[in-house]
Structure 1
Amino acid sequence: MRDSDLTRAFQATDRSTAWALVERVPLKFPTYHPQGIALVGELIFMTSVEVLEAPVPVDGYDRTPGAGIGHLFAMDRQGNLKQDIQLGEGTAYHPGGLDFDGKDLWVPVAEYRPDSRAIVYTVDPTTYEVTERFRVQDHVGGVVRDRTTGHVHGVSWGSRTLYSWTPTGKQLSKLANASHFVDYQDCSYTADGKQLCGGVTTLPGPNNTSYDLGGLALLDLRTNRILHEIPFPYFSPTTNHNATRNPVALESTPDKLRLITAPDDGDTPHGTELQIYETPLK
């Protein structure tokens, strides 16, 4: 299925669409706190943050920067690690949602706090060569490259600000996110200047409980207008985290739409799994 067909297939879903959890693939390596997924042929690339010193609240910033290591894992579809690429610099160790533009992976690595700074890298998915592209004076939690314009689009902490830059980092736009449905955690380019994003927002529930509302959204990269969005009311069977909590990637077979997720951290009882959902194409 072509990317444009994939876009149309997603637009045919709605909040009553039934998805089935059809496969759970345990990842056979330390995964820490996964952030984003990109599909490159038979390989899956996943970003993750390894926290060595947890940030704590502090005056002047939301929190201290803490310390850690940013990872970009290359794995096969059976969950076997092929390469661990370390990304970041100093207090910028938190990689976010990533995108594959047909040639390179685009990966942001930021400080683990809002209103901070980030470095945007490209990584060759064959040689694993890392190239710094540009720097941003804000936390960038995910990037997507528009294959029609070449522009790079990004989201801030909680996706409250939407950015666009040239591939060398000249800022083209900075706009408030008009949607308050979910915070986008991971986005990928689909086709014709569009991106598909997954995310979650934690809402208060009764009796001091909380609820993770998950969802998927298709956006026009030129206008940031939401073209289609749905809630995703499915949860990890091991932790009850919403399936779209962090990494998401959408692909298809000839007759099914498939969502690949990894909602659980490596330190949970069952570790991180690729949890794969499918729904028949309409």
Structure 2
Amino acid sequence: MTRAFLTTDRSTAWTLVERVPLEFPTYHPQGFALVGELIFMTSVEVLEAPEKYPEPVDGYDRTPGTGIGHLLAIDRQGRLIEDIRLGEGTAYHPGGLDFDGQDLWVPAAEYRPDSRAIVYTVDPTTYEVSERFRVNDHVGGVVRDRTTGQVHGVSWGSRTLYSWTPTGRQLSKLANESHFLDYQDCSYAAHGKQLCGGVTTLPGPDNTSYDLGGLALLDLRTNRILHEIPFPYFSPTTNHNATRNPVALETTPTKLRLYTAPDDGQAPSGTELQIYETPLR
């Protein structure tokens, strides 16, 4: 997959080949992990939205709100197989997740920056949830490096890049030198690399806004970007860029395939799996 992604560029043509409706509550999708014939999707159900404070309170810029964290096991036809609850108290926002060949690694954080998070593993067969460690920051996504065993994570807006041991001892904390994308979801991509998708919302004319979406390949050892491309494709039902939230890449014998789910359950047509393909070169 890494080699296939390196052949893409800003002129690569992607085709939306399939739209699979998810006809169950999907809330606000966050991340994907592909495990055999199942797709695991994290999503946050917001019961009471966080509200901005007029001035910071105890170092926070907003209230925590209330909600429920979900890890949804879905088959490739879009049917719900299992709804796994994640989180604790105000840490109800699950983020980008990764499958390391044995377990799913998933964070659940408070829905505000500079807060706290719990990193879990989930058995993809039994759905058993195990707490691994806690972090004094909002962790929006994690990836397990299969070459070192280390766990890598991103903060709110991916402005800080972390690495930890599997038991949570912090190994590094670095500012993200790239300001092109806020990474929303990352997955391990072999040989010590991760593939990330995300967006940056930019102001447009006449009080409009524009979601600049893209994909990036990073070296987990150095956090250096090895390859990145814009992704100028949008949901057919909303103005959301396709890489707004969950993304997952896989290869077939002839295609590079991208799974996306840019729309929330509250959208007019609900959430769809929107699947793009481009021929392998």
For this structure pair, what is the TM-score category when the shorter chain's length is used for normalisation? Answer: over 0.9
Task: Quote the residue 2:223 is aligned against.
Answer: 224
Q: 1:13 aligns with which of 8, 17, 22?
A: 8
Q: Establish whether residue 23 from structure 1 lines up as the match of residue 18 from structure 2.
A: yes
Structure 1 counterpart SS, 2:242 = coil
Task: Quote the residue 2:79 is aligned against.
Answer: 80
Task: Quote the residue 1:96 is aligned against.
Answer: 95
Task: Quote the residue 2:128 is aligned against.
Answer: 129
Return the alpha-carbon distance in structure 2 between the equivalents of residues 72 and 99 of structure 1: 12
Which runs of 5 or more structure 2 residues have no equivalent in the other structure?
A: none
Task: Quote the residue 2:69 is aligned against.
Answer: 70
Q: Quote the offset at 1:207 in angstroms.
A: 1.1
Which structure 2 residues correspond to residues 131-146 of structure 1 after superposition, within 5 A? 131-146=130-145
Amino acid at match of 2:19: R
Which structure 2 residues correspond to residues 144-155 of structure 1 after superposition, within 5 A? 144-155=143-154
Amino acid at match of 1:265: D
Q: Percent identity?
A: 87
Q: Quote the offset at 1:62 in angstroms.
A: 1.7
Q: How many residues align?
A: 277
Return the alpha-carbon distance in structure 1 between the equivalents of residues 275 and 3 of structure 2: 20
Task: Quote the residue 2:114 is aligned against.
Answer: 115
Which runs of 5 or more structure 1 residues have no equivalent in the other structure?
A: 1-5
Return the alpha-carbon distance in structure 2 between the equivalents of residues 168 and 62 of structure 1: 30
Task: Quote the residue 1:242 is aligned against.
Answer: 241
Amino acid at match of 1:19: W
Amino acid at match of 1:181: F
Task: Quote the residue 1:36 is aligned against.
Answer: 31
Structure 2 counterpart SS, 1:62 = strand
Amino acid at match of 1:244: T
Which structure 2 residues correspond to residues 162-241 of structure 1 after superposition, within 5 A? 162-241=161-240
Q: Greater shift after overlay, 77-86 or 51-60? A: 51-60
Amino acid at match of 1:53: E
RMSD of the alignment, in Å? 0.4
Q: Quote the offset at 1:185 in angstroms.
A: 0.1
Q: Establish whether residue 52 from structure 1 lines up as the match of residue 68 from structure 2.
A: no
Return the alpha-carbon distance in structure 1 between the equivalents of residues 230 and 52 of structure 2: 32
Q: Quote the offset at 1:156 in angstroms.
A: 0.1
Structure 2 counterpart SS, 1:16 = coil
Task: Quote the residue 1:3 is aligned against.
Answer: none
Cα deviation digits, residues 85-135 of structure 1 (max 9, x gap): 000000000000000000000000000000000000000000000000000
Q: Quote the offset at 1:240 in angstroms.
A: 1.4
TM-score, length of structure 2 as denominator length: 0.98
Structure 1 counterpart SS, 2:172 = strand
Structure 2 counterpart SS, 1:187 = strand
TM-score, length of structure 1 as denominator length: 0.98
Task: Quote the residue 1:261 is aligned against.
Answer: 260
Structure 1 counterpart SS, 2:4 = helix
Q: Quote the offset at 1:28 in angstroms.
A: 1.8
Return the alpha-carbon distance in structure 2 between the equivalents of residues 148 and 256 of structure 1: 26
